[in-house]
Structure 1
């Protein structure tokens, strides 16, 4: 895992921990659990092909990559609920997009 991805993973762990999730490593992804919900968190510094399976996914990316990542997910027509969190260098973040699978 590259330095940027490692830094994003660290920021993602902090975000989900602060939100009250139990956070653990799951290969190159992060597993965030709270009550009945398990969210697979994928640090993604640049838009690449997203995983094709899952129920709930969150992609953590750099500020400025949100639109490109959203377009990538839409073009892949993924079949799970997803959200994108964009992270600034100072650690601040925002949920920049989310969808539900209907």
Structure 2
């Protein structure tokens, strides 16, 4: 199993490529695009997923309105809780990566989407 102190950046790229997205590199983050969807993807290590204040910014007005945070599976609950309480002004999802490379998508709870 990969160490949780390293963000699952390559795993994130692999997931989006398997889903048919084109990848536009932007340093540690990237934009994944498919059809009409442009998603800003942010891989997070365990520490960043548990204390995401500086990482989970509100983005710029010209950036993608869809955000996906990719982290290790055992960090998804804390990140989901943080995002639901922060109510960022973009639609978001979390992809939790398992040690064997499998993944699970976590969406916001109903009624917590941005206004």
Bin the TM-score by the shorter chain. 0.7 to 0.9
Q: Number of residues paired by the alignment?
A: 98
The runs of at least 4 consecutive aligned structure 1 residues that moved more than 6 Å come to none
For the aligned residues, what is the CA RMSD?
1.7
Kindly state the Cα deviation for residue 85 of structure 1 after the two structures are TM-superposed: 0.7
Counterpart residue number, 1:72? 82
For structure 1, list consecutive stretches of 5 or more residues without a partner in the other structure: none
Three-state SS of the structure 2 residue aligned to 1:42 is strand
Aligned match of 1:101: 114
Q: Any unmatched runs of 5+ in structure 2? A: none
- Using the size of structure 2 for normalisation, the TM-score is 0.76
TM-score when normalising by structure 1: 0.85
Do 1:9 and 1:30's aligned partners in 2 also have CA atoms closer than 8 Å?
no
Bigger radius of gyration, 1 or 2? 2
Q: Is the 8 A contact 2:22 2:34 kept in 1?
A: yes
